Amino acid sequence: MPKSYRVAILGATGAVGTELIELLERRNFPLSQLKLLASPRSAGRTVSFRGESLTVEAVADGCFRDVDLVLASAGGSISKQWLPQAVESGAVTIDNSSAYRLDPQVPLVVPEVNPEAAFQHQGIIANPNCTTILMAVAIYPLHRVQPIRRIVVSTYQSASGAGARAMEELKTQAQAILNGETPTPSVLPYPLAFNLFPHNSPISEGGYCQEEMKMVNETRKIFAAPQLAITATCVRVPVLRAHSEAINLEFEQPFPREQACEILRTAPGVILQENWQSNYFPMPMDATSRDEVLVGRIRQDISHPCGLELWLSGDQIRKGAALNAVQIAELLSHHDAGSSSSPSLSSSGLQP
């Protein structure tokens, strides 16, 4: 029987934190205690979990004592401030922010791709960026059969990627426009309703924004392929929830479409969704609240004999964030249930 863990969620009242709570209950994660942590302004809220009412606490010194596992989704600066204290207290932390993703001492894990990396942690495991996770789940099964030489990806990212407030802003803006009013953005820099714009993260001197470089650097780390050629263009679109991506893959040799479809049909975390007669392929409305990444419109690239095109949609909050973190926690708990030879979780935190 697996043991039960004392779990804390840092950022419990945000969009991802709320999803983490729901997933821990729905997937029956083995926990004996759940502590909900957030900023002081959110302290005092109550949340239902397994028939009980839990009160949100303000994150503070000493709050990680007697905690085995921390699921963090509160932003990079918050993670940098509090996660070292959590590790020092003996907890293993799974961080959804970008704070530790490229740290060579911190594993960056997508369970369908590199589950073994989770057991190399030194107290912190990083959850990749949402667009990186969705792409990795879809293309790694092909990469295993024939290594990818080059990736060209364009993303169509929903408001959910900017958090719960951005989702509400999109609704408000859409209603304002329908009422003949001019929307005023506050969360995002420009109106998103009935509009789209390149991702608003900071742009480097080379012209790539931070979101695009996350896809480049994180995919290389997850695939253990530091020289993999990748270019990305990330765009924010007026979709409430779930991201989509158009991906062009180049291989050493031609990769037949039929073979790719057969591989993806049985790939973990993937649903192949193609109806060529009806021109029906993955859409955000179908991917919303789904655990799996929907993949379809797989076709040969007519401009390159070794190229393959595919399209995907996946829930940014679910698999792109909360579910991936819970799956990492499940990896560690399953390992504890069968072995204690590698660092995972224990009642006192990190195993020696």
Q: DSSP characters for 48-69? A: EETTEEEE-EE--TTTTTT-SE
H helix runs in the chain, sequence order: 15-26, 76-88, 130-145, 164-178, 210-222, 257-265, 284-287, 323-338
Rounded Cα distance between 21 and 50, Å, is: 10
Q: Which fold has domain 5-99+319-338?
A: Rossmann fold (3.40.50)
pLDDT of residue 197: 97
Burial class (CB in 10 A: 0-12, 13-18, 19+), 255: buried
pLDDT at 163: 85
The two tokens of residue 278 are: 């009806």
Locus of tokens 């949340």? 47
* Residue 254 DSSP label: -
Q: What pLDDT score does 350 carry?
A: 30
Three-state SS for 300-315 is ECCCCCCEEEEEEEEC
Q: What are phi and psi of 108, to 5 degrees?
A: -115, 115
| Dist. CA 32–CA 237, nearest whole Å | 41
DSSP labels for 119-137?
A: GG-SSEEEPPPHHHHHHHH
**For residue 339, what pLDDT is reported?**
55
DSSP-assigned beta bridge partners for residue 243: 314
pLDDT at 344: 52
Residue 243 appears among annotated catalytic residues: yes
Contact 45, 18 (CB under 8 A): no
pLDDT < 70 positions in the chain: 1-2, 339-352
124 phi, psi to nearest 5 deg: -125, 135
Amino acid 347: pLDDT: 30
Q: Report the SS3 class of residue 104.
A: coil
Delimit the domains of the chain by residue range. Answer: 5-99+319-338, 131-316
**Catalytic: which of 121, 199, 243, 335?**
243
Distance, CA of 326 to CA of 317 (rounded, Å): 12
Q: How far apart are alpha carbons 253 and 255 in whole angstroms? A: 6
Contacting residues for 347 by C-beta, under 8 A, at least 6 apart: 3, 68
**Does the active-site annotation cover 130?**
yes
State the catalytic residue, choosing from 130, 199, 234, 335.
130
Contacts of 36 (CB under 8 A, 6+ apart): 8, 9, 12, 13, 17, 21, 47, 54, 55, 56, 57
Which element (helix H / strand E) includes 183?
A: none
At the topology level, CATH places domain 131-316 in Dihydrodipicolinate Reductase; domain 2 (3.30.360)
